Amino acid sequence: MNASLHAPFSAAAPALVDPFGRAVSYVRVSVTDRCDFRCVYCMSEHMQFLPRQDLLTLEELDRLCSAFIARGTRKLRITGGEPLVRHGVMSLFEGLSRHLDSGALEELTLTTNGSQLARFAAQLADCGVRRINLSLDTLDPEKFRAVTRTGDLSRVLAGMDAALKAGIAVKLNAVALRGVNDEEYVRLVRFAHERGMDMTFIEVMPLGELEGLARIDQFMPLSEVRARLSEAFTLEEIDYRTGGPARYMRAKETGGRIGFITPLTHNFCESCNRVRVTCTGTLYMCLGQEDSADLRAPLREGPSDEALYAAIDAAIARKPKGHDFIIDRAAQAPAVPRHMSTTGG
């Protein structure tokens, strides 16, 4: 492994606080825009992925993450695309684990589609990953293939089992899709809770153009999901947070937690402590806005991190109060043109 991944980082600088007094302590970093699935709500079937030479190297990703950690980031989520398809990505997890060992970082985690988990679960656990988000929109193999266009449900479930066996807590994420999985919400909750996993539902987001699809036809407000779940479970309000945007309830009958992420019907901007960095080093201060900052150029200026810190400071000073996602018949165009896989999950 490249020794630079284990090099100590320079002295800490002041923590990051945005113009609205929110401390930025949670950074989601994409390591690739590539994915082995082509989920119908996420990307086009015939995606044009970035040239590999445009991506930050694993050493640059380590240095970038370390800069944010030195500025007060306590939670770091590795995303994609599908992060585990990035060649050599485990060396990044191994390098970043030093921040867990030192106590500078509270949590290192990832979001995955599960296709590669059976291969990497044990290694992830060895690197200090204690919790992951696994995307699982349906338990029906044929629907799963249709939604992902290429995915194999049995392979994802094998990866889920491998993660649980390795001692990693798994949270299932399902995008609520009208006419696709709207009869499975109760089944998904029971499936998750029987295995000791949380279950979170997410409203479809208007990011990126889709071929021949209108998101208004996919969209189901989570108020409807909650109403359906209430027919099967007694839902209790609980004060539980993971640092992300989900609001949680407990199903009294199972004792398990159910999360709701509602970027459209009830946005979560007032407490936003998150920013996203793409695999090319573009920092987005808000998922639903186009304003961004280039961190790749200061990364490549030289060994000093002074320019990188300055670029991060300037970007956080422009972090907006919130996004304005809209899905309706009059607004068919996506809120932003980039796909979720480009921004990072």
Q: Per residue in 76-120, pLDDT tens?
A: 999 999 999 999 999 999 999 999 999 999 999 999 999 999 999
Could you tell me if 280 and 54 are in contact, meaning their C-beta atoms sit under 8 angstroms apart?
A: yes
CA distances from 36 to 60, 88, 144 (A): 24, 16, 14
**How does residue 48 score in pLDDT terms, banded at 50, 70 and 90?**
confident
The predicted model gives 304-311 an average pLDDT of 95
pLDDT in tens, 157-187: 999 999 999 999 999 999 999 999 999 999 9
Structure tokens at 16: 């990051």
Report the binding-site residues for [4Fe-4S] cluster. Answer: 35, 39, 42, 269, 272, 286
Report the binding-site residues for GTP. Answer: 28, 77, 111, 171, 274-276
**How does residue 286 score in pLDDT terms, banded at 50, 70 and 90?**
confident
Which of 83-97, 216-230, 321-335 shows the lowest mean pLDDT across its residues? 321-335
In order of start, what are the domains of the chain with their CATH numbers? 17-343 (3.20.20.70)
pLDDT for residue 338: 46
**Is residue 70 scored above 50 in pLDDT?**
yes
Output b/e per residue, 160-194; b: 16+ Cβ within 10 A. Answer: bbbbbebebebbbbbbbbeebbeebbeebbbbbbe
Percent of the chain with pLDDT over 70: 82
Q: How far apart are CA 280 and CA 303, in angstroms?
A: 18
Report the binding-site residues. Answer: 28, 35, 39, 41-42, 77, 81, 111, 135, 171, 205, 269, 272, 274-276, 286
pLDDT for residue 213: 53
Global pTM value: 0.86
**Is residue 50 scored above 60 in pLDDT?**
yes
pLDDT for residue 344: 59
CA distances from 268 to 72, 188, 214, 283 (A): 21, 24, 24, 20
Q: What is the mean pLDDT of the chain?
A: 87
CA distances from 70 to 15, 45, 73, 104, 166 (A): 8, 39, 7, 8, 29
Structure tokens at 222: 């989570």
Report the binding-site residues for S-adenosyl-L-methionine. Answer: 41, 81, 135, 205
- Between residues 289 and 254, the one the model is more confident about: 254
- What one-character DSSP code corresponds to residue 269? G
Structure tokens at 276: 């996203």
Report whether the peptide linkage leading into residue 255 is cis, meaning its omega lies within 30 degrees of zero.
no
- Between residues 314 and 53, the one the model is more confident about: 314
Most confident of 204-218, 239-253, 300-314: 300-314
The predicted model gives 18-38 an average pLDDT of 93
